[in-house]
Structures are given as structure tokens and as C-alpha cells.
Amino acid sequence: MNYRHAFHAGNFADVFKHVVLTRIIEYLKRKEAAFRVIDTHAGRGLYDLASVEAGKTGEWINGIGKIAKAGIGGKAGELLAPYLRAVLPEEGEPVSYPGSPLIARRLLRKQDRLSAFELHPEDHAALADQFAGDWQARINLLDGWLVPGAHLPPKERRGLVLIDPPFEIAGEFDRMTAALEKADRRWPGGIVMLWYPLKHDGEVERFASALRASTIRDLVRVELQVKTKSDEPGLYGSGLIIRNPPFVLQTELETILPSLVDAMALDSGAAWRLDRLTQE
């Protein structure tokens, strides 16, 4: 467990992931019935953008730093507004950036709940401190890979599972496939969102091929890249697999993603794509 998200908090991949997360939560809020957000690899909750870790990479500058200054308007701006309210201060530049569990919590209503899982003891302690006394949030010291097989479905029977592993060891794509299959069996009506990095290896396409060949229905793939694909180390983009996506999500993302690409592009190779891997 060597991965430390503090080096990467607020980068383009966080922005992309959290914008989509926000749109799904906003959709779930259309109905009065309660729902639960389940975050399997939750992290520490809040990240200091002035920390030594954030300063070493400066990744947030080309992520939320650019979005904060972009002034995105029109319909895209309307759709981004709940996300921006959740992550940006009312005035000035961002000095911290919230992780997925904190963003989700800021979007929940009184009847909704959050379950967050984190295995790293230090990060779990920080996360628990963030939510101390919050009766709507349950913070668990547990391996997130156990969640799909042991903690689904939630009693609310509505909601979202975010599976966002650190990809620090081999086999994460296989674990994601297995986790999605378990979630599909145990909670067929739930929304599941899986995040993955875009690198120069072929694992991403093998992952997509495995999902296409699976029995899991209603899978959509969304990817965003901020620069031209290359063999250099590091990410050129990131992707999401969404099981049971809200019916409005495709139209919303087709409106939002061009603005995100324009704002965070590092070169002319920046792009996005949205396609269906399996039918409903």
C-alpha cells in the first residue's frame, strides 16, 4: 500500500471522475427515495494542495486549477455547477481538494447515506476524522475489494458503487472485472462506476474485451485524455466503466466533456470518447 493520492489530488483524472460522479448523484436525487453511495477505495477525504506531496507534482494546476479559471458557461456550465460548488471555495483559488467520499457527502440529502472503505491505516484515520460525528456516513477500515461480495446490496436498494483502486500492483483490471461480476449478481439494479488509468500498455483494451465478452449488461465506457498517447511513463488519460448508467448521462457527458478537454488539454492530442460495451 505505497500509493499516496496526495501527489495526484485535483489532477485531470480526479476532475473527470468527480464530474461524472456528481452527475450520477444528481440523477439519483431526482427521486425522493433514499440512496447510498459506496466508495470502495476512499482515501483520506481531503487533500492539501499546498502540501509537499502536491507541490512535488503540481498535477492539480493542470486539473482543478484550470477548471477553476476556465469560466465554462452555457449548458455545460449548468451541468458542472454542482461539482464546482462541491470542490471550490466561494472566493479565491482552491487550497484543498476533496476526495470522492467528501464530494459525495456534500451532495447528499438528509435521507441519503455514504459508506466509505479504506485499508491504509493512516488514510483511514484521516478519513474517520473528516466524518467524525456524521451519522449519515459510515467509515470502514477494510480492503475495498471485499465490498462487492460482502456489502451489497445496501438496505436502501438504490445507489452507486465507486470502485477506484490505486493500480499500484499487477492484476487490478482482473480484480475490477471480478468485482463488477459480483456486484452484478448481488445488486443488479445498482449503478457501478469503475475508474482506470490510460497508459501505454494493452491492459485497457484487454479489460474492455473481457467486459464485452461477459454476461454483464448495460455497460458504457467513457474516456478522457489530455495529451497524445505515447510510450512515456505516466497517464495520458483515464477512463470509466459505468454499469446501469442513468438514461440522461450520455447526453450530459456529450455536453460536458468537450469543455473539460478544452480546459485541461496539454497538447493537440486531447480528446474524449463515449461508447457502449454491452447492450441494455
Give the burial class of 153: count Cβ atoms within 10 A of its Cβ; 0-12 exposed, 13-18 middle, 19 or more buried: middle
Q: Which of 39, 112, 123, 164 is catalytic?
A: 164
Please say whether the beta carbons of 60 and 54 come within 8 A.
yes
- In our burial notation (b when 16+ CB lie closer than 10 A, e otherwise), range 229-244 reads eeeeeebbbbbbbbbb
Q: 232 — alpha (psi -120 to 50), left (phi > 0) or beta?
A: beta
Q: Where are the beta strands (DSSP E) in 22-128?
A: 36-39, 46-48, 96-98, 113-118
Of the CA atoms within 13 Å of residue 110, those in its CB half-sphere come to 0
How does pLDDT run along the chain (280 residues), one tens digit per residue? 445 677 788 999 999 999 999 999 999 999 999 999 999 999 999 998 888 677 677 889 999 999 999 999 999 999 999 999 999 987 777 889 999 999 999 999 999 999 999 999 999 999 999 999 999 999 999 999 999 999 999 999 999 999 999 888 889 999 999 999 999 999 999 999 999 999 867 889 999 999 999 999 999 999 999 999 887 777 899 999 999 999 999 999 999 999 999 999 999 999 999 999 999 9
Domain count, the chain: 1
Tell me the pTM. 0.96
CB atoms within 10 A of CB 280: 10
Q: How far is residue 166's CA from residue 176's CA, in Å, rounded to a whole number?
A: 12
CATH at 65:
3.40.50.150
164 catalytic per annotation: yes
Q: Domain span at residue 246?
A: 5-278
